[in-house]
């Protein structure tokens, strides 16, 4: 039988592990986190997004103590003001405080973005996982559905939906997600198909595990990295889409401020006050850039093989 000597012989981890200093056991998530932490630009972008998110969440507080204005307070005595002590970032044609409106606008932009990502991820993952795991006719039906969804010209859907519902952050997110989940489902299905081929899935089946266990304990953790990457890269994209919808008047309706409808509003007064155009533009630009950079950092951290 295997004597104690054998145990002693194997009492060392494999090649390449404990080289030099003894490192603790590392999970995939720990390692990814280590890689992410090493990426300074990515971390900076992430912190920026976090700050924006905090500002957005605490917008009422900022109104109260920082700007002392409400986003819809009209003051016809103070129209088109330049940035200064009264209005830190100036005011618009109705004398509304631009900074306040930008802060409240962040609520819409980021809120819609995160909500949309959450919704498309949930639906897309479920559909993609079921389709990929079961295959056969279930896969056929679900994937034809995805094809159909992806074939719908999104812009017409948005117009139609915004006529049917009065868009608020929630309905807008639902509308964008109703098209967005299709590509997530495809992504997840593809990943599931490849993970499903690996022997550990067969091994788990061979011990008598149920489908739910296979999907939740084995498939989900293994597709999670691509989901995280997709989510973080999706945020920037959705902010752009949402701003475009607002700009076209299909999204959040005035007087509720959003970066998109602030731009729409500002285009009539472009020559009176360049700030009105530049500021929401910069807000969108910086947020999208930061989320894309953070998304790339996430991708490099979680999926090192994608990085060349």
Residues at the interface with another protein (CB under 8 A):
1-2, 6-7, 9-17, 19-20, 25-28, 198-200, 202-210, 213, 217-218, 221-222
Residue 267 beta carbon to another protein: minimum distance, rounded to whole angstroms? 49
The residue (of 7 and 65) whose beta carbon lies closer to another protein is: 7
Residue 232 beta carbon to another protein: minimum distance, rounded to whole angstroms? 19
- Cα–Cα separations (whole angstroms), residue 216 to 33, 133, 139, 211: 22, 11, 18, 9
The residue (of 34 and 152) whose beta carbon lies closer to another protein is: 34
Find out whether the peptide bond into 255 is cis, omega within 30 degrees of 0: yes
The residue (of 198 and 272) whose beta carbon lies closer to another protein is: 198
What is the Cα–Cα distance from 273 to 267, expressed in whole angstroms? 10
Question: 85: which 2 tokens?
Answer: 């002590």
Residue 125 beta carbon to another protein: minimum distance, rounded to whole angstroms? 16
In the three-class reduction of DSSP (H, G, I as helix; E, B as strand; rest coil), residue 116 is classed as helix
Q: Are 261 and 283 in contact (CB under 8 A)?
A: no
The residue (of 22 and 76) whose beta carbon lies closer to another protein is: 22
H or E segment and range at residue 296: helix 274-302
Q: Please name every residue paired with 97 in a beta bridge, in sequence order, or none if there are none.
A: 91
What is the Cα–Cα distance from 289 to 305, expressed in whole angstroms? 23
Q: Please name every residue paired with 91 in a beta bridge, in sequence order, or none if there are none.
A: 97
Residue 217 beta carbon to another protein: minimum distance, rounded to whole angstroms? 8
Q: Which of 228, 298, 259 has its CA nearest to residue 56?
A: 259
Return the DSSP state at 58: T
What is the Cα–Cα distance from 298 to 46, expressed in whole angstroms? 9
The residue (of 13 and 254) whose beta carbon lies closer to another protein is: 13
The residue (of 45 and 219) whose beta carbon lies closer to another protein is: 219
The residue (of 203 and 289) whose beta carbon lies closer to another protein is: 203
């Amino acid at each position: 039988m295997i004597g104690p000597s054998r145990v002693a012989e194997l009492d060392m981890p494999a090649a390449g592990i404990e080289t030099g200093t003894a490192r603790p056991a590392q999970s995939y998530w720990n390692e990814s986190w280590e890689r992410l932490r090493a990426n300074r630009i990515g971390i900076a972008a992430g912190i920026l997004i976090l700050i924006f998110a905090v500002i957005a969440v605490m917008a009422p507080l900022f109104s109260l103590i920082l700007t002392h204005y409400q986003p819809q307070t009209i003051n016809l005595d103070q129209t088109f003001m330049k940035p200064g002590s009264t209005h830190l970032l100036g005011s618009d044609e109705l004398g509304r405080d631009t900074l306040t409106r930008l802060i409240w606008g962040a609520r819409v932009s980021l809120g819609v973005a995160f909500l949309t990502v959450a919704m498309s991820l949930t639906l897309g993952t479920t559909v993609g996982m079921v389709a990929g795991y079961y295959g056969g006719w279930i896969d056929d039906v679900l994937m034809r559905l995805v094809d159909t969804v992806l074939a719908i010209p999104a812009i017409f859907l948005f117009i139609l939906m915004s006529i049917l519902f009065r868009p608020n952050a929630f309905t807008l997110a639902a509308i964008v997600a109703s098209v967005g989940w299709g590509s997530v489902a495809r992504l997840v299905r593809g990943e599931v198909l490849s993970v499903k081929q690996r022997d550990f899935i067969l091994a788990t089946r061979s011990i008598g595990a149920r489908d739910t266990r296979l999907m939740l304990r084995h498939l989900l953790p293994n597709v999670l990295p691509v989901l995280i990457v997709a989510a973080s890269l999706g945020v920037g994209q959705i902010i752009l889409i949402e701003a475009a919808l607002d700009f076209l008047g299909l999204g959040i309706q005035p007087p509720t401020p959003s970066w998109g409808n602030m731009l729409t509003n500002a285009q009539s007064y472009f020559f009176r006050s360049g700030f009105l155009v530049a500021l929401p533009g910069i807000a969108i630009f910086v947020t999208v850039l930061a989320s894309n950079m953070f998304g790339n950092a996430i991708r490099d951290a979680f999926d090192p093989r994608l990085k060349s």
